[in-house]
Amino acid sequence: MSPHHSAPAEANTDPTDHRDQPAPTDQPDPADQPDPVQEPDRPDDPRLLDYNAWLFWERADEERRAAQRARQRAVLAATDPAGDSAIGDRTFLSELAMVQPTALRLGARCYVAAHAYLTGTVTAGDDCTVNPFAVVRGTVTLGDGVRIGAHASILGFNHGMAPDRPVFRQPTSERGIVVGDDVWIGSHAVLLDGVTVGAHAVIGAGAVVTRDVPEWAVVGGNPARVIRDRRAPGRSRRDERAELGARLAEFADRARAQADAVVARVWEPDATAPDGTPTGRYLDAPDAPPTLRAHADAVEILALLHGRAPAQLPAAEHVRRLRQGQDPTTGLTAGLSETGRHGPPPAGFGADGDADYHVLSLGYALDLLGSSFAHPVGAVAALDADELRLVLAELPWRNRGWGAGAGVDALGTALYWNLSLDPAGPDRARGQLDVLFGWLLTHCRPGTGLWSEERAADGLLQPVNGYYRAARGSFAQFGLPVPYPERVVDTVLRHAADARHFGPGRTTACNVLDVAHPLWLAARQVQGHRAEEVAAWAAGQCGPLLERWVDGAGFPFRQPPAAGPAGREDRPGLQGTEMWLATLWYLADLVGVAESLGYRPAGVHRPEPVVQLG
């Protein structure tokens, strides 16, 4: 690639680009053409080397070379002395470029052409180029051989946009941009703060990169999405799906072979009862305390991959343990203490987040074992229509959309269990479901399809994550269509492009599942609406996810930071394993290759409704 070719061809090869192409024409015979006119030699325009910066050290006379060395010394003298600034051999900074960094470190054979604009903390390896009118600002780190096309913008900082003050008075933040080796960034492309671009990637002209770009990916569009793998030019979508399907099948075989070891790893043996029954407990990870959710996750994993209960206990003992802590009055189950004992009965619905989630996790684990709760969820069954409306209205929709959605999920699931367990019969639970769905339908926002507002601090994270929980426990669980499905797809895709929540140290099982499930649910009602973008996003998640599996241990809940695991969430555990296995199915189904996995979620994350209300 020549240094001045700064508009990758992929800019105009996007399959969604339907602009007319010129028709082929007959080419004239060269013999019929006149001899080319020989132009006389002319002196170079004095500005030539500022715009064709790669020519500088070949063509510049000694006077201009001396001036260039003086310019570099002046730039370095103006930087922060603590910034370890340096400029490598045969690097060129145009006199017409604005180069005013806080710290600058450029390797050998780099150039900054006319009208480029560099500020902040900029670090680049060897053979990097910043072409005319390109902008590199904030904290930006470039590997070797990074080519930045004309008019591109690499913006390693951001402005706030809280409504409490004018935009020009907003504070700024800097997470920085990291670009790997051998990356080509096309003309007019924009990279936003917080993204990482993998080595050997190509950013198409005009692309707006809002999330991390995998190695070797060719991306384009706004927001940028993966078009293909640079190592396999010309591959069709069918070929890519086939390759992904093969990788998924291979992974699923490996996960099945290791499932028993993954669960056995977190079984904490203890003494045995007089009848010889083990009295151990399940932990989420070897360094975590025992929890009922861990027990439910162990049941889910073995049911998903092998259709049976974990081998540490007989199936009847699994059932007994999952049922034994349920309070007969409220129908709720308290969590375990550090020693593995049940806590005091919860005061009521909404008083204990763990107890509310046990309505889902324990209830569905029992369902997978062919059993159920011993008692109805009395804390929900006791609510009349006005009380239920009040509970819904008082959920934290404004500030904590995820918490509000979790409340709806627990309510809806409690009503499902109560359809068969409530002594008052299914009529009472059915009447409460009418209130629940009426409230959700009349409070859904037509502009986004969600129930909560975007926040300046974290964008759509809370509204989208809360939407997943609320929709899972209501519309998905009871087989009813979601309102405003096209707006849901639009809004969730916009959230999926927010780099603040996706990437090393940021991507969690919740964040991806809470995108994948709403896209899957809504897309079934509006087939074809942005389907290619949805499939490309899902495919882009699958490859990196498969690489995070740890043999014999499973998946970590969070993608570890680039520097390595920093906390418990970055290391494998049952919660991460159970959630990512289910999420992988949704991602694969959005691409159209879910059958390659050979399994289908059947517990908390089941795709089918448990009952059809329609």
Over range 78-88, report the average pLDDT.
84
Tell me what pLDDT residue 233 has. Answer: 65
Tell me what pLDDT residue 84 has. Answer: 82
Catalytic annotation present for 159: yes
Give the whole-number percent of the chain exceeding pLDDT 70: 90
Which residue would you say has higher pLDDT here, 267 or 424?
A: 267
Same domain, 218 and 333: no
Per-residue pLDDT at 103 exceeds 80: yes
Q: What's the pLDDT band for 579 if we cut at 50, 70, 90?
A: very high
Which residue would you say has higher pLDDT here, 132 or 39?
A: 132
Tell me what pLDDT residue 14 has. Answer: 38
Tell me what pLDDT residue 273 has. Answer: 54
Identify whether the C-beta of residue 349 lies closer than 8 Å to the C-beta of residue 330: yes
Q: Is 197 helix (H, G, I), strand (E, B) or coil?
A: strand
Same domain, 209 and 256: no
Q: DSSP assignment of 302-371, as one string?
A: HHHHHSS--TTS-HHHHHHHHHHTB-TTT--B--B-TTS-B-PPPSSTTS-HHHHHHHHHHHHHHHHTT-
Residue 261 sits at the vertex; the CA angle it makes with 258 and 266, to the nearest 5 degrees, is 135
Over range 320-327, report the average pLDDT.
95
Tell me what pLDDT residue 185 has. Answer: 96
Q: Which of 128, 98, 93 has the alpha carbon at shortest distance from 110?
A: 128
Tokens 């939407």 -> residue: 467
Cα distance between residue 234 and residue 242, in whole Å:
15
Per-residue pLDDT at 1 exceeds 90: no
Residue 417, H or E segment: helix 401-421
Over range 74-93, report the average pLDDT.
89
Over range 65-88, report the average pLDDT.
89
Same domain, 142 and 263: no
Cα distance between residue 15 and residue 7, in whole Å:
17
Average pLDDT across the chain, whole number: 88
Over range 570-586, report the average pLDDT.
97
Cα distance between residue 106 and residue 88, in whole Å:
6
Over range 322-326, report the average pLDDT.
95
> In this predicted model, what pLDDT tens digit does every residue of 521-575 receive, in sequence order?
999 999 889 998 999 899 999 989 999 999 999 999 999 988 888 899 999 999 9
Same domain, 253 and 317: yes
Q: Is residue 313 part of a domain?
A: yes
Q: Is residue 33 part of a domain?
A: no
Tell me what pLDDT residue 528 has. Answer: 87
Identify whether the C-beta of residue 28 lies closer than 8 Å to the C-beta of residue 90: no
Per-residue pLDDT at 41 exceeds 60: no
Identify whether the C-beta of residue 466 lies closer than 8 Å to the C-beta of residue 398: no
Tell me what pLDDT residue 444 has. Answer: 97
Residue 344 sits at the vertex; the CA angle it makes with 338 and 350, to the nearest 5 degrees, is 100
Same domain, 426 and 500: yes
- How many Cβ atoms from other residues are within 10 Å of residue 245's Cβ? 18
Q: Is 467 helix (H, G, I), strand (E, B) or coil?
A: helix
Tell me what pLDDT residue 553 has. Answer: 97
Per-residue pLDDT at 343 exceeds 70: yes
Per-residue pLDDT at 8 exceeds 60: no
Tell me what pLDDT residue 421 has. Answer: 93
**Distance, CA of 483 to chain centre:** 24
Same domain, 225 and 256: no
Q: Is residue 208 part of a domain?
A: yes
Q: Is residue 377 part of a domain?
A: yes
- Amino acid making up residue 242: A
> Phi, psi at residue 392, to the nearest 5°?
-65, -45
CATH of the domain at 120: 2.160.10.10
Tell me what pLDDT residue 225 has. Answer: 84
Q: Is residue 14 part of a domain?
A: no
CB burial of residue 187 (10 Å; 0-12, 13-18, 19+): buried
Over range 404-423, report the average pLDDT.
95
> In this predicted model, what pLDDT tens digit does every residue of 112-158 receive, in sequence order?
999 999 999 999 999 999 999 999 999 999 999 999 999 999 999 98
Same domain, 230 and 118: yes
Q: Which of 436, 469, 464, 435 has the alpha carbon at shortest distance from 450?
A: 464
Tokens 């909560």 -> residue: 452
Per-residue pLDDT at 13 exceeds 80: no
Which range (263-272, 284-293, 350-359) has the least confidence?
263-272
Cα distance between residue 493 and residue 511, in whole Å:
12
Same domain, 337 and 429: yes
Domains contained in the chain, number: 2
> Phi, psi at residue 262, to the nearest 5°?
-60, -40
Identify whether the C-beta of residue 209 lies closer than 8 Å to the C-beta of residue 178: no
Same domain, 129 and 252: no
Beta bridge partner(s), residue 558: 508
Same domain, 353 and 464: yes
Tell me what pLDDT residue 426 has. Answer: 83
Residue 121, H or E segment: strand 117-124
Over range 468-487, report the average pLDDT.
97
Tell me what pLDDT residue 44 has. Answer: 63
Same domain, 208 and 283: no
Over range 446-467, report the average pLDDT.
95
Could you list the residue range(s) of the whole structural domain that residue 559 is in? 239-597
Identify whether the C-beta of residue 434 lies closer than 8 Å to the C-beta of residue 384: no
CATH of the domain at 519: 1.50.10
The percent helix, strand, coil of the chain (3-state, each to 5) is: 40, 15, 45
Identify whether the C-beta of residue 574 lies closer than 8 Å to the C-beta of residue 539: no
Instruction: Please list, residue by residue across 137-156, b when 16 or more beta carbons sit within 10 angstroms of its beta carbon and e when fewer do.
Output: bbbbbbbbbbbbbbbbbbbb
Identify whether the C-beta of residue 156 lies closer than 8 Å to the C-beta of residue 137: yes
Per-residue pLDDT at 364 exceeds 90: yes
Q: How many residues does the chain have?
A: 614
Cα distance between residue 510 and residue 62, in whole Å:
61
Q: Is residue 301 part of a domain?
A: yes
> Phi, psi at residue 600, to the nearest 5°?
-145, 125
- Amino acid making up residue 352: D
Q: Is residue 245 part of a domain?
A: yes
Identify whether the C-beta of residue 529 lies closer than 8 Å to the C-beta of residue 519: no
Cα distance between residue 561 and residue 547, in whole Å:
14
Identify whether the C-beta of residue 432 lies closer than 8 Å to the C-beta of residue 392: no
Same domain, 351 and 225: no
Residue 202, H or E segment: strand 202-203
Tokens 């995070």 -> residue: 548
> In this predicted model, what pLDDT tens digit does every residue of 240-274 receive, in sequence order?
889 999 999 999 999 999 999 999 999 988 755 55
Cα distance between residue 542 and residue 406, in whole Å:
26
Catalytic residue among 4, 5, 159, 318: 159
> In this predicted model, what pLDDT tens digit does every residue of 433-442 receive, in sequence order?
999 999 999 9
Q: Is residue 9 part of a domain?
A: no
Beta bridge partner(s), residue 267: 282
Q: Is 139 helix (H, G, I), strand (E, B) or coil?
A: strand
> In this predicted model, what pLDDT tens digit does every residue of 183-236 receive, in sequence order?
999 999 999 999 999 999 999 999 999 988 988 889 998 888 888 888 876 666
Tell me what pLDDT residue 236 has. Answer: 66
